[in-house]
Amino acid sequence: MIDPVKLTIELIARDTRVPEGNEAQSIQALQMLLENAGFSCHGVDLAPGRPNLVARLDPLGSGAPAIAFTGHLDVVPLGEAPWTRQPFAGEIEAGRLYGRGASDMKSGVAAIVAAALRHAREGGEAPVEIVLTSAEEVGLEGAKVLADRPGALGRAAALVVAEPTANRPAFGNRGNLWLDVHFKGKTAHASEPEKGRNALLAACLAAERFAAYDFGGARHPLLGRSTVNVAIMRAGANYNSVPDRARLGLDMRLLPGTDIDALLVELAGLAGPDASLEEIIRLPGSWTEPTDPWMASAIGIAAGITGANDVMGAVPFNTDGSLLAPAYGGIPSLILGPGEPGQAHQTDEWCEVARIEEAAAIYLELMRRFTPPG
């Protein structure tokens, strides 16, 4: 079995920071490993230098639905704070592997590939599909290309998303909706503001209404409630004019099943008659009941390897699984990866070395025990 820790270090060494990403070199190296193990691979490009890879192993040639695994190769920028360790060196100290992407989520990708190579070498019969994406950190763009393109994905009956959970099973996440709300007013000289219509004031009043919006009070036992954050305000060009344009930027985290089209109608009403909505990002939420038979089995497999019955339940961030699971036909989706969720996007990001090895063992056992339906 290829060492998943060494593979993580190799992936960290390749700088794949957004917005450029440059994931091609990393994905091509992983493709070579998978093809040498017998996987059939094809790429679906998001843009030059930004491929997505779909790799499939079907030992019996049955075409049966596979167990699918997914991870992304892009990472966020380093931030303004100085790092105390080299961000692309993959240093190990006191059982922790440091580097950008150590937790989010090159360790998860490495564990997936290491387990898949071991499964192939063992002659495992279960079909396996691996989906490696680019541009996850900027709106799941790579996964969206795969989900929207007919035939890009194979058949699958279950999905594992290797995002950071410290190997604790999670069952879903809220969706994400970004909106720009544009307000139109009428300019006038600042000495006679009554002759104008102040778009900035309209935006301020609407911002208060947005902030107070409670989505009908709906709550989920683990995901909590939908939220809205008024994140951006832009208005005004000079002191001595009434601003005739203003813009608010909203970030909403939505419970799975939210009727987004109906929500947009309500938000338009809150914005007022001289406002218009511009949709920037729309990503659905995802949820699989832990009582689902495959999910319950996966939880048991993870507990047997980690020695703990602890579950994370839900993750606060969005994942490629939100788009890939529906594209596969609404299959159960488990979020489980070796990274520390609290380390995602942090300065001096790290992952426990033992978690990486543990995740590879969990993924391998999931492959070994997977039985295609039907």
Q: Which residue has the tokens 């911002």?
A: 207
DSSP conformation letters of 106-162: HHHHHHHHHHHHHHHHHT--S-EEEEEES-GGGTSHHHHHHHHSTTSS--EEEEEE-
Q: Quote the crossing angle between the two packed helices 4-12 and 106-122, to the nearest 10°.
A: 140
**37, 5, 166, 96: CA torsion to nearest 10:** 180
Our answer to whether residue 74 is catalytic in this structure is yes
74, 163, 349, 352: the active-site residue: 74
Three-state SS at 338 = coil
DSSP state for residue 191 in the 8-state scheme: T
39/137 Cα distance (integer angstroms): 27
DSSP state for residue 142 in the 8-state scheme: H
Q: Report yes or no: 25 and 107 within 8 Å, Cβ to Cβ.
A: no
Non-local (6+) Cβ contacts of 190 within 8 A are 239, 240, 241, 242
Q: Report yes or no: 74 and 140 within 8 Å, Cβ to Cβ.
A: no
From first CA to last CA, the distance across the chain in angstroms is 31
294/89 Cα distance (integer angstroms): 38
Q: Which two tokens stand for residue 255?
A: 């419970």
- Sheet architecture: strand order including 175-184: 227-235, 245-254, 175-184, 275-283
Q: Which two tokens stand for residue 293?
A: 């038979």
Our answer to whether residue 279 is catalytic in this structure is no
Strands 227-235 and 156-161: unpaired
Non-local (6+) Cβ contacts of 198 within 8 A are 185, 242, 243
Q: Which two tokens stand for residue 76?
A: 């966020």
Three-state SS at 312 = coil
23, 58, 129, 136: the active-site residue: 136
Residues noted as catalytic? 74, 136
